[in-house]
């Protein structure tokens, strides 16, 4: 028994040096925090007023859109514009022809010619009766009868001409005229198609290019003319504008508003983009952007401790509309002090 015990103790003593390095490999030590002496410009974090921005839907549009409507029934014989063309107010862009109007104009023209012939005969008869009356052949009653016949014949001529003019005026309404200067958005009625009065032939932009917002009706009381809007333009920098008109109606739970933005591209009318509207204000922690360091996707700031040393503290930030500042969502509290640059 004593021999076996000595054997076990010897084996344990031999294995002990091998176990110590393995135990050292399994231990872990926490990485020391980055602490430096606080130097450089300091900033005290405080709650500040900032705009409360809400995401809304927006569409590039114009102040108005004018519809070109057919005024008479008939056949659209020509349409000289297509989508994207620029037109001016009063420009003839198409023509509608009603074949029945041609027949009516011909009939009224024939009536006018017949009435003119009757008027000429009545005038000649009046001149003859007037001569005989002056020479004492006819009585005054005969002269009055001839004058009445001549006046009636001339009235028939005037009526026939007015009817013919009315038909020509209706035919003239077959001209498709642009009601405003702008760009053609829609012109999808092919030539040769039958049209009816009131049928849209084309749609034309009218007025300046604006950004139309669709706001939830819950924001109607918080948004007003002059409220700021931040538009996110695809492939370009974000642009800022102001609301110039808030429509006093609710449609489908949405309130519409017009936003004026300098240099807004109107080449793609109807394009939908993302936008944010300022709906009041709120308190937030805003710090200068140059106090925040970003490395490997992590934002950090140098916070000053009670002992005057600066430690690197991770923070969660969000963009801010305040120039040169970012909003700190977590990692700092009001009253904390940060430095722009720590000495190494």
| Domains defined for the chain, CATH in brackets | 36-50+284-339 (2.40.420.20), 55-62+207-281 (2.40.30.170), 66-93+174-202 (2.40.50.100), 99-172 (1.10.287)
Rg of the chain over CA atoms, in angstroms?
45
Predicted model pTM: 0.58
Give 48's strand partners: 284
What pLDDT score was predicted for residue 30? 37
What pLDDT score was predicted for residue 19? 40
What pLDDT score was predicted for residue 35? 66
What pLDDT score was predicted for residue 36? 66
The answer to whether the CB of 168 falls within 8 A of the CB of 109 is: no
Q: Which residues contact 235 (CB under 8 A, 6 or more apart)?
A: none
The answer to whether the CB of 326 falls within 8 A of the CB of 287 is: yes
Evaluate the CA torsion angle 33, 38, 43, 45 in order and state its sign: positive
What pLDDT score was predicted for residue 190? 92
Return per-residue pLDDT of the chain as tens, 344 residues. 434 434 343 434 443 344 434 334 343 343 445 666 667 788 888 888 888 888 898 999 888 888 999 999 999 999 999 988 899 999 999 999 988 877 787 888 888 888 888 889 888 888 888 888 888 888 888 888 888 988 898 898 888 888 888 888 888 888 999 998 888 989 989 999 999 999 999 999 888 889 999 999 888 888 989 999 988 887 777 888 999 999 988 888 899 999 998 878 777 788 888 898 988 888 888 999 888 989 888 999 988 888 878 888 999 998 887 788 888 999 888 888 888 864 44
The answer to whether the CB of 302 falls within 8 A of the CB of 342 is: yes
């Amino acid at each position: 028994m004593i021999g076996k015990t000595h054997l076990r103790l010897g084996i344990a003593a031999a294995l002990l040096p091998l176990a110590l390095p393995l135990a050292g490999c399994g231990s872990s030590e926490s990485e020391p925090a980055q602490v430096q002496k606080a130097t450089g410009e300091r900033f005290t974090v405080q709650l500040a007023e900032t705009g409360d921005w809400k995401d809304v839907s927006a569409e590039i549009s114009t102040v108005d859109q004018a519809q070109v409507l057919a005024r008479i029934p008939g056949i659209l014989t020509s349409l000289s514009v297509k989508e994207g063309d620029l037109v001016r107010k009063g420009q003839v862009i198409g023509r509608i022809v009603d074949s029945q109007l041609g027949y009516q104009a011909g009939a009224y023209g024939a009536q006018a010619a017949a009435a003119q012939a009757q008027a000429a005969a009545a005038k000649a008869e009046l001149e003859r009766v007037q001569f005989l009356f002056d020479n004492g052949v006819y009585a005054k009653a005969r002269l009055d009868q001839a004058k009445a016949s001549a006046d009636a014949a001339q009235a028939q001529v005037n009526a026939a001409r007015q009817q013919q003019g009315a038909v020509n005026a209706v035919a003239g309404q077959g001209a498709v005229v642009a009601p405003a200067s702008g760009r053609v958005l829609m012109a999808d009625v092919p030539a040769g198609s039958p049209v009816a009065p009131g049928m849209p032939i084309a749609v034309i932009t009218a007025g300046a290019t604006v950004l139309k917002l669709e706001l939830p009706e819950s924001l109607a009381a918080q948004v007003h003319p002059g409220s700021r809007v931040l538009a996110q333009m695809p492939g370009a920098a974000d642009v800022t504008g102001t609301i110039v008109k808030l429509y006093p109606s609710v449609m489908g739970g949405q309130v519409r508003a017009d936003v004026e933005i300098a240099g807004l591209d109107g080449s793609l009318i109807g394009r939908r983009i993302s936008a944010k509207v300022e709906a009041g204000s709120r308190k937030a922690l805003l710090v200068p952007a140059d106090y925040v360091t970003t490395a490997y996707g992590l934002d950090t700031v140098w916070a000053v401790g009670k002992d005057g040393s600066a430690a690197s503290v991770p923070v969660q930030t969000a963009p801010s509309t305040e120039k040169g500042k970012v909003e700190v969502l977590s990692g700092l509290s009001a009253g904390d002090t940060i430095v722009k640059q720590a000495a190494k």
